[in-house]
Amino acid sequence: MYEALKTFLEKATPVDSIPADCIILVQRAKGYDIERDNKFWKIEGNKSQVRDIVCAYCSHQVVMSNNAYRDYLANGKKNKVVCAECMKLELKKQKNEKASATILSRD
């Protein structure tokens, strides 16, 4: 299952901001070590916080970077927000289907 997510992320294309029609991939807030994660980031925009947003599939509260959250708000909260756990399940469901989608990433 992790291989599918790894393949998904390898196809990502860097962008300056997240368009409104893109999915924002996040982590679930429960059990996420924000302090440990934020130690790795020097730029404030890359640091994460627990947000008042839930995953579109499982409804768990999520952690989102400051940059992604800024873009999400700028897009009028139109982006679909999906946690990595649910994305892995969706990719597993669709592993036999061939989709021609552009995957965007800030990395």
DSSP strand pairing (48-54 vs 61-65):
antiparallel
For the chain, the C-alpha Rg in angstroms (whole number) is: 14
Query: Is residue 76 scored above 80 in pLDDT?
Result: yes
Within 8 A by CB and 6+ apart from 89, the residues are 1, 57
Question: Number of C-alpha atoms within 13 angstroms, CB side, residue 86?
Answer: 19
Reported as a pLDDT band with limits 50, 70 and 90, residue 14 is low
For residue 60, count other CB atoms closer than 10 A to its CB: 15
- On whether the CB atoms of residues 18 and 81 are closer than 8 A, the answer is no
Q: Which two tokens stand for residue 59?
A: 């409804």
Ordered by start, the domain boundaries in the chain are 2-105
pLDDT beyond 80 at 97: no
Q: Is the pLDDT of residue 98 over 60?
A: no
pTM of the model: 0.73
- Residues 36 and 25: their CA atoms lie apart, in Å, by 19
Region 41-70: mean pLDDT is: 94
Query: What percent of the chain is modeled with pLDDT above 90?
Result: 50
Stronger pLDDT, 14 or 42, i.e. the higher one? 42
